[in-house]
Chains A and B, each alone.
Chain A
Amino acid sequence: MASREVIQYETPLSRAFRWFSAVFLAFYVVWTVLPLFIMFMSSFKDLLEAFKLPAVGDWAGVTVFFEFTPTTKHYYELFARLGFTTYLFNSLVAAGGSAVVSVILGSMCAYSLSRIDFKGKGDLFFWIISTRMAPVVAVMVPLYWIFRQLDLVGTLPGLILAYTTFNLPFAIWILKGFFDNVPYAIEEAQMIDGATRFQALRAILPLVAPGIGAFVVLCILFAWNDYLFAAIIGSGGAKTLPAATRELVQPQNIQWGQIMAAGVVTTLPMMFLGLVIRKYLVTGLTMGAVKE
C-alpha cells in the first residue's frame, strides 16, 4: 500500500493558516470546556460562593473562583430528597431501551434493504428517511394524542417507543450503508460452508459491529439529551434527568447548586461512555469502510 501521508509544502499562506488554526482551536477549547468546568466546580459550592465573581477586567481576582469550601450537599439533596435515583434510572432505561430496540429492528430492516431487491425499494427507503424530515415539534401533538389513546403517556415503554420512532429511520439509514459495504460473497461462502440464511447474516454481524456500535452511541445520546419527549410523553411517571433538572427552576427560587449538580450527573455518564468506546469507534469505523 502506498503511504497514507499527506504531503504538504510550507508556503506563507499555509504558515499563516497554521497560526490561525492554532488560535482558533485554543479559543474553541476554552469555549467548550469552560462551561463544563464552571458547572463542575459550582456543583461543589455553596450558593453564596458560587456567585462570588471578580469584577470585569480584574484578572488577578480570578482566584476568588477557586476560594471555596467544597460541599456535596447538592448531590445529597438530589439523590436523597428529590428522587434523582429514579430519574437516573429512567434516563438509563429510556436511552438504553430505545437503543437496543432500534438497533435490533434497524439492523434487520437495513439488512433486508441492503440485500434483497424488490419493487419500490427506492421509494420505501426514501419514505423511511423522510419520516425524519418533519421537525419533532410538528409531530408532537398528534403523537401525544396517539400515546394518550394507548395509555402510554408517562410510562417508560411509551418513552422508549417515542425515541425508537425517531431513532429507527436513522438506524436503518446508517446501518444500510454498513451492510452495503460487506460483500455478499461472504454470506454466500457461509451458506456453502453449511450455514442457513440466518446464520449467514449472523456471521457478518462482526463486520458491521463498528456501525452498530456507532449507532448505539448516537441513539443513546439522542435519548439521553432529549428534553421535549421527556417533558411531554414522559411527564409524570417516566421523568428523566433533563426533565427533572428543568423542575429545579422554580418561580420563587432557582436552585443553582442543585442544577449544576444535576448537570454533572447528566453529563458524566455520557463522557464516560465516550471515553470507553472512543478507541473502538475510531478503529471500527475505518474497518467497516474497507472493501475486500
Chain B
Amino acid sequence: MAKVSFRNVWKKYGDMPAVKDLNIECPDGSFLSVLGPSGCGKSSTMRMVAGLEHITSGQILFDERPINGLAPKDRDVAMVFENYALYPHKSVYENMANPLKLRGQDASVIKERVTAAAKLLEINHLLERRPQELSGGQKQRVAIGRAIVREPNLFLFDEPIAHLDAKLRAHMRGEIKHLQRTLGTTMIYVTHDQLEAMSMADTIAVMHDGELQQLGTPREVYNHPVNAWVAGFVGEPAMNFVDVGVEDRAGRAHFIHQNFAVPVTEEQQRRLSDGSRGSALRMGVRPDALSISMTKPSDSCITGKIFVTELLGGDMIVDVDLDDCRIRVKTSTEFSGEEGQTCYMTVNTNKWHAFSKENGKAFF
C-alpha cells in the first residue's frame, strides 16, 4: 500500500502535451478517480504511474519515493487495462495465476489465491476457459481478478467497466468499491463516466485537455465546481447555463435576464467581486435546483415556455425555452404542464452558481 503523489507531471507525445503540470496527492488506502472526457489524458496519466510510458517531466512518488526510473515490475502495481489485455493462449486460471507465478509463489498459494479471487468475482466456473470463450463482462472480471490476486502497492483501473451494459455496470460499481474498501489498497480509477466517479471515489480528479481542473471529494466537485467546465461535466442531467447581467437593486445584486431578475444571497453577494457589476456572468443551475409550476409563485421567478417533457421512470425532465436559450428542469411525475404552455420556475438560490464569462472561474 502506498501514498501516491504527482509533482508537476507532464507527458508529451512529440510536441503534443497530453498531460500538463499535474499535481495530485492520493493518500494511502484512498480511492482516487480520474474523471474526464475521451482524450483528456487519463490513460496517459495511468500509464505513467504503471511505468508503461516515460514521464516527460516532473515526478511521481510512492510514499515520497520517486519511481520515475523504476521498471513496471519494480513498482509493484496491479493494473486493469482499458482493453483487458488478457493472454489469449492461456486459460482464465493461468491468466489470473500469472502475476503470482512471475513472483515465484508456491503452487499451493497460487491455487488458493486464484480460487479465492475467482469466487469473489463469481468466475470460478470459468477457470478452464480461454479468453475468446468469454463474454465482455466475464473478460473484464478476469482482468480484475488478475489484478487482485496479489497485494500490490496500488491498483490502477483504466475504464474497466466501460464496455458493460448498464445493469452489470451498476453491479460492478458496487463490487469494485467494496473490494477496495475490504482490501484497503490505494486505488486510482480512470473513467469518463461521472456517475462512476461520483459513486465510487473518495477523491475525484477532474481532467480536461490534459489539465487538472479540480481535485476534491465527490460532494465538493458536485456542489462547488471550480469552473463552468467542471460544473457542466459533472452531474446528469447536465447543469443549465444562462448568460446573465448583474445589477444592484436596493443594495442587493440581482442576476438580470430577459426572463427574470433574481437576487443573490448575502454570502454570494460578498463573493461577487465588485468588477462583476454591469459585466456579463454565466449563471449555472442544476435541473434539480429548479422547481417548476404552472402558476406564478412570486415575482423573482423565471418565466418560460415548455418545449418538451420527458418521463424518466420516477422523475420527469422538462425542457423549457427561455427567450435566448433552453434549460432543463427536474420535477416529479405529477407535473401536468403541456408542450407550448407558459410555466414558471423558482431557483433554489443556495444551490446556484455564477461563473466568469471570460475564464469560466466560479464565483460561487
Contacting residues, chain B, for A186 (C-beta < 8 A): 85, 87-88
A194 to B103, CA, bound (A): 7
Whether, in the assembled complex, B81 has its beta carbon less than 8 Å from a beta carbon of chain A, the answer is yes
Known: A185-B85, A196-B73, A203-B87. A191 touches B98 (CB 8 A): no
Contact B85 A191 (CB under 8 A): no
Contacting residues, chain B, for A203 (C-beta < 8 A): 87
A186 to B83, CA, bound (A): 10
Q: Which of A183, A185, A192, A206 contacts B78 (CB 8 A)?
A: A192
| CB nearest to B75 among chain A residues | A192
Encoded as 1 (CB less than 8 Å from any A CB) or 0, chain B from 69 to 83 comes to: 001110001110101
Whether, in the assembled complex, B99 has its beta carbon less than 8 Å from a beta carbon of chain A, the answer is yes
| CB nearest to A199 among chain B residues | B102
A191 to B98, CA, bound (A): 11
Contact A191 B73 (CB under 8 A): yes
Known: A191-B51, A192-B79. A206 touches B89 (CB 8 A): yes
Contact B98 A193 (CB under 8 A): yes
Whether, in the assembled complex, A123 has its beta carbon less than 8 Å from a beta carbon of chain B, the answer is no
Contact B89 A194 (CB under 8 A): no
Contacting residues, chain A, for B52 (C-beta < 8 A): 188, 191-192
A50 to B248, CA, bound (A): 119
Whether, in the assembled complex, B3 has its beta carbon less than 8 Å from a beta carbon of chain A, the answer is no
Interface residues of A in 183-211 (CB under 8 A from B): 183, 185-186, 188-197, 199, 203, 206-207
Contacting residues, chain A, for B99 (C-beta < 8 A): 192-194
Q: Which of B78, B83, B146 contacts A292 (CB 8 A)?
A: B83
A-side interface mostly = helix
Contact A193 B89 (CB under 8 A): no
Contact B88 A188 (CB under 8 A): no
Contact A207 B88 (CB under 8 A): yes
For residue B76, give the distance in angstroms from its CB to the closest CB of chain A: 8
For residue B84, give the distance in angstroms from its CB to the closest CB of chain A: 8
| CB nearest to A292 among chain B residues | B88
Interface size class of A (residues with CB under 8 A): 10 to 19
Contacting residues, chain A, for B98 (C-beta < 8 A): 190, 193
Interface residues of B in 76-110 (CB under 8 A from A): 77-79, 81, 83, 85-89, 98-99, 102-103
Whether, in the assembled complex, B230 has its beta carbon less than 8 Å from a beta carbon of chain A, the answer is no
Contacting residues, chain A, for B77 (C-beta < 8 A): 192
Known: A194-B99, A194-B103, A199-B102. A188 touches B85 (CB 8 A): yes
A247 to B146, CA, bound (A): 63
Whether, in the assembled complex, B50 has its beta carbon less than 8 Å from a beta carbon of chain A, the answer is yes
For residue B129, give the distance in angstroms from its CB to the closest CB of chain A: 15
A215 to B175, CA, bound (A): 47
A203 to B90, CA, bound (A): 10
Contacting residues, chain B, for A191 (C-beta < 8 A): 51-52, 71-73
Contact A193 B102 (CB under 8 A): yes
Question: Considering residues A196, A206, A292, which has the most beta carbons from chain B within 10 angstroms of its beta carbon?
Answer: A292
A190 to B78, CA, bound (A): 11
Known: A185-B81, A188-B52, A190-B98. A195 touches B87 (CB 8 A): no
| CB nearest to B88 among chain A residues | A292
| CB nearest to B149 among chain A residues | A193
Contact A192 B50 (CB under 8 A): yes
Contacting residues, chain A, for B71 (C-beta < 8 A): 191, 196-197
Contacting residues, chain B, for A193 (C-beta < 8 A): 73, 98-99, 102, 146
For residue B232, give the distance in angstroms from its CB to the closest CB of chain A: 33
Question: Considering residues B52, B98, B102, which has the most beta carbons from chain A within 10 angstroms of its beta carbon?
Answer: B102
Contacting residues, chain B, for A206 (C-beta < 8 A): 89
Question: Considering residues A183, A190, A192, A197, which has the most beta carbons from chain B within 10 angstroms of its beta carbon?
Answer: A192
| CB nearest to B52 among chain A residues | A188
For residue B4, give the distance in angstroms from its CB to the closest CB of chain A: 16
Q: Which of B78, B81, B102, B146 contacts A188 (CB 8 A)?
A: B81
Encoded as 1 (CB less than 8 Å from any A CB) or 0, chain B from 23 to 45 comes to: 00000000000000000000000
Contacting residues, chain B, for A185 (C-beta < 8 A): 81, 83, 85
A186 to B84, CA, bound (A): 9
Interface residues of A in 162-198 (CB under 8 A from B): 183, 185-186, 188-197
A188 to B85, CA, bound (A): 8
Question: Considering residues A189, A199, A203, which has the most beta carbons from chain B within 10 angstroms of its beta carbon?
Answer: A189
Question: Considering residues B72, B78, B81, B99, which has the most beta carbons from chain A within 10 angstroms of its beta carbon?
Answer: B72
Contact A183 B103 (CB under 8 A): no
Contact A189 B89 (CB under 8 A): no
Known: A194-B102, A195-B102. A189 touches B85 (CB 8 A): yes
| CB nearest to B99 among chain A residues | A193
Contacting residues, chain B, for A183 (C-beta < 8 A): 83, 85
| CB nearest to A191 among chain B residues | B72
A189 to B90, CA, bound (A): 13
Question: Considering residues A191, A196, A199, A203, which has the most beta carbons from chain B within 10 angstroms of its beta carbon?
Answer: A191
Contacting residues, chain B, for A292 (C-beta < 8 A): 83, 85-86, 88
Contact B73 A189 (CB under 8 A): no
User: Can you identify 26 A-B contacts, CB atoms within 8 angstroms?
Assistant: A183-B83, A185-B85, A186-B85, A186-B88, A188-B72, A188-B81, A188-B85, A189-B79, A189-B85, A189-B86, A189-B146, A190-B98, A191-B72, A191-B73, A192-B73, A192-B79, A192-B99, A193-B73, A193-B102, A194-B99, A194-B102, A196-B71, A197-B71, A207-B88, A292-B86, A292-B88
Cβ-closest 7 pairs across A and B: A185-B85, A194-B102, A193-B99, A189-B85, A191-B72, A194-B73, A192-B79
Contacts A189-B86, A189-B146, A192-B52 aside, 9 further interface pairs with beta carbons under 8 A come to A186-B88, A188-B72, A190-B87, A192-B50, A192-B77, A193-B99, A194-B103, A196-B73, A203-B87
